[in-house]
Structure 1
């Protein structure tokens, strides 16, 4: 792991609730990690790569099922991704 990368299970990050549309987009273009992934696109055009604690970093059926939907998700903003811990389909 490079020095500036962040593991999903490390503490930290600002806790926020974001609302936007879930879309499949090409991420990490030109790198070994280039892939299609699920991102949350906010109304202002800001994009956040979606991750869940304990979820697969490369592919997550939980977010894939939300593709095209407008959702409200809560979690922590981390360098390079949004670590979601609450949203549609989660238990209260």
Structure 2
């Protein structure tokens, strides 16, 4: 895991298609061109109402990245560009 600050836009997307974990979740389309599954430190991995409030907004978040998952511990949001 690596401490990271990322900027991007939050959206809903299908996560882990075809697996037992297949679900629609919240992702971050980062400004670096990558897509990260978005999680909140201490939040539910499958449905987090706090993260769902961010859908459609541009954010700057800090937290840990592990593979394609970004586990945020802090963020600031503004309307999407």
Alpha-carbon separation, structure 2, partners of 1:54 and 1:86: 12
TM-score (norm 2): 0.87
Unaligned runs of 5+ in 2: none
Offset, 1:20? 0.1
Q: 2:52 aligns with which of 20, 45, 64?
A: 64
| Structure 1 position 48 matched with structure 2 position 36 | yes
Query: Computing the radius of gyration over CA atoms, which structure comes out larger, 1 or 2?
Result: 1
State the Cα RMSD in Å: 1.4
Number of matched residues?
77
Distance 1:44 1:79, change over 3 A: closer
TM-score (norm 1): 0.77
Unaligned runs of 5+ in 1: 1-12
